[in-house]
Amino acid sequence: MNQAVPFDRVAESLLAFWAEAGVDAMLHDTPVDRIEAGKFVPATPPEKKPLAAPPPQQPRAGAGPDVAGAIAQARQLAAAAGDLEALKAAIAGFDGCSLKFEGARQAVFGRGAADAPLLVIGEGPGPEEDARGEPFVGRAGQLLDRMLAGAGLSGRVFITNTVFWRPPGNRPLSAQEQAVCQPFVERAIELISPKMLLLVGAPSAKAMLKRDEGILSMRGRWFEWRSESGNLELPAMPTLHPAFLLRQPAAKKKAWSDLLTLTERLDRPDRGA
Ligand code: URA
């Protein structure tokens, strides 16, 4: 006999099928103007000071005036955060990144040891991170954790991203989205004071090092990361993103070799300066 399947079972199974296929966001056919709708409040432009010197970071060409305001506001909030908890709260309260109003459930800041010698910086939260409020907790994050553990780095890392809200549908990040979050990333580096940075994936490496090179040519090499103010400098190594490694397992060998090179320097008594 042909029995009708209850609608909720059909819907549940269809949703599971979509989730398995990677569909993780519902987008409208037409864009929604969040500013018009009153949800996205562009940050107040910075106060004009009678200084001849330019501000430390200018909005990039075509970025729009609110980006400069948002960066200035992010800098102020970040500077006022005296520890990682305060920084996390400052990020959660920051309205200057439009990703916050594009369907993200919450801000995702970081996890790990507050005094870690290694800071790992990924691209941005995915669906699992968005749901749980912690970075790198999905399949890619589990692989990252296994690799860090294999290299003896468990408990010696703090993990964060270049942006703190999930891009809808995991679309690529814009330079503006990364730029407005950058002051918070820099403040995290100041507060944690790590010995070095591991930049995971091309969007992280390009944004942090301000280089437009492919990840395959940057990975495994040492670069000098410099803060916007120029006050902080740290050795930084780009490597392949674990999500890429899940798709291309043959590339794991390269990422593993990068991690061993980094660990060797991290554990060297003079740190190979
Ligand atoms: N990919 C990232 O770059 N960061 C995360 O937090 C999760 C996946």
Structure confidence at residue 56 as a pLDDT band (50, 70, 90): very low
Give me 66's structure tokens. Answer: 């609110």
Ligand 1 surroundings by CB, under 6 angstroms = 122-126, 129, 135-136, 138, 140-141, 161, 201, 243
Distance CA 260, CA 150 (A): 10
The confidence band for 273, taking pLDDT boundaries of 50, 70 and 90, is: very low
Residues 6 or more apart whose Cβ sits within 8 Å of residue 130:
104, 105, 106, 108, 165, 166
* 26 assigned to some structural domain: no
Q: Give the domain range for residue 164.
A: 67-266
Ligand 1 atom nearest to CA at 242: 1
- Residue 57's pLDDT band, with cuts at 50, 70 and 90, is very low
Cα–Cα dist 38/112, whole Å: 36
Domain-embedded: residue 36: no
The Å distance, Cα 163 to ligand 1 centre, comes to 10
Task: Read off the pLDDT of residues 187-213 as tens digits, 9 standing for 90 and up.
Answer: 999 999 999 999 999 999 999 999 999
pLDDT at 165 over 80: yes
Residue 28 predicted with pLDDT over 80: no
User: CB of 165 within 8 A of CB of 99?
Assistant: yes
- Residue 239 covered by a domain: yes
Tell me whether residue 23 is in a domain. Answer: no
Give CA–CA dist 237/120, Å, rounded: 10
Does the residue 118 lie in any domain?
yes
Pocket test for ligand 1, best of 91, 106, 123 (most atoms within 8 A of CB): 123
Average pLDDT of 125-139? 98
User: Which of 163, 242, 239, 165 shows the shortest CA–CA distance to 196?
Assistant: 239
Structure tokens at 193: 């004071």
| Count: domains in the chain | 1
Q: How far does the centroid of ligand 1 lie from the alpha carbon of residue 214, in Å?
A: 19
pLDDT classification of 170: cutoffs 50, 70, 90: very high
Q: Is the pTM for the entire model greater than 0.75? A: yes
The Cα–Cα gap between 126 and 49 comes to 39
Q: Which atom of ligand 1 is nearest to the CA of 122?
A: 3
Strand arrangement of the beta sheet that strand 118-122 belongs to: 111-112, 157-161, 118-122, 196-200, 233-239, 223-226
Separation of 6 CA from ligand 1 center, angstroms?
37
Backbone angles phi, psi at 262, to 5 degrees: -65, -45
Nearest to 160 by CA among 194, 147, 171, 150: 194
215-235, pLDDT tens digit by residue?
A: 999 999 999 999 999 999 999
Q: Which atom of ligand 1 is nearest to the CA of 200?
A: 3
Query: Which residue is it, tokens 């920084």?
Result: 87
In a domain, 183, yes or no: yes
Residue 24 pLDDT grade (very low, low, confident, very high; cuts 50, 70, 90): low
Say how many Å lie between the CA of residue 127 and the centre of ligand 1: 9
Measuring CA to CA, which residue among 177, 224, 204 is closest to residue 40? 177
C-alpha of residue 236 to centroid of ligand 1, in Å? 18
123: CATH: 3.40.470.10
Residue 135 alpha carbon to ligand 1 centre in Å: 6
Distances (CA, A) of 240 to 2, 92, 96, 257: 51, 28, 29, 11
31 in a domain, yes or no?
Answer: no
In a domain, 261, yes or no: yes
Closest ligand 1 atom to residue 128 Cα is: 7
The pair phi, psi for residue 269, each rounded to 5°, is -55, -40
85-107 pLDDT, tens digit per residue, is 999 999 999 999 999 999 999 99
Q: Which residues pair with 111 in a beta bridge?
A: 159
Could you tell me the distance, in angstroms and rounded to a whole number, from the CA of residue 124 to the centre of ligand 1? 5
